[in-house]
């Protein structure tokens, strides 16, 4: 399922920050490796590079923090939505972040 996101001031700022953080400025991809290659294989639709990057990140999280239960990037989106709701951010700003309601179990895993 494809999603369409409207450009907002915050989204433009996030993209600008991501562009500035890229390891090289020779690629049309927002998220790329040191050689400028994107993480998604256009032929297969797989994101093997991203999967490897995430696996290495989770290994570090599990060894260097108090987090005891692994989580995925979708959990982070739900956590952002949950935090936004509790901080009083208008619902229209966070509802599109996740298809399911924020979960207390995600709070517990991420704040570990």
Q: What is the pLDDT of residues 69-106, one digit of tens each?
A: 888 877 877 777 777 777 777 665 655 554 444 444 44
Coarse DSSP helix, strand, coil percentages of the chain, rounded to the nearest 5 percent: 55, 0, 45
Give the pLDDT score at 64.
Answer: 95
Q: What is the pLDDT of residue 32?
A: 81
At residue 38, the 3 state secondary structure works out as: strand
CB 85 within 8 A of CB 91: yes
Report the pLDDT value the prediction gives residue 74, as an integer from 0 to 100: 77
- Dump pLDDT digits (tens) for 32-79: 888 888 888 888 888 888 888 889 999 999 999 998 988 887 787 777
Pair of tokens at residue 22 = 């890229």
Pinpoint the alpha helices (H) of the chain: 9-21, 48-64, 73-86, 91-94, 104-111
Task: Give yes or no for residue 6 having a pLDDT over 80.
Answer: yes
Question: What local confidence, expressed as pLDDT, does residue 65 receive?
Answer: 93
- The domain segmentation of the chain, as residue ranges, is 69-112
């Amino acid at each position: 399922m494809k999603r369409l996101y409207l450009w907002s001031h915050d989204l433009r700022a996030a993209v600008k920050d991501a562009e500035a953080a890229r390891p090289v400025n020779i690629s049309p991809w927002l998220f790329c490796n040191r050689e400028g290659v994107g993480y998604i294989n256009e032929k297969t639709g797989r994101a093997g590079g991203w999967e490897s990057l995430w696996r290495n990140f989770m290994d570090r999280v599990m060894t260097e923090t108090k987090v005891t239960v692994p989580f995925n990037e979708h959990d982070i989106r739900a956590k952002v939505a949950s935090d936004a709701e509790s901080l009083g951010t208008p619902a229209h700003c966070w509802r599109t972040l996740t298809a399911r309601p924020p979960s207390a179990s995600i709070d517990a895993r991420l704040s570990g």
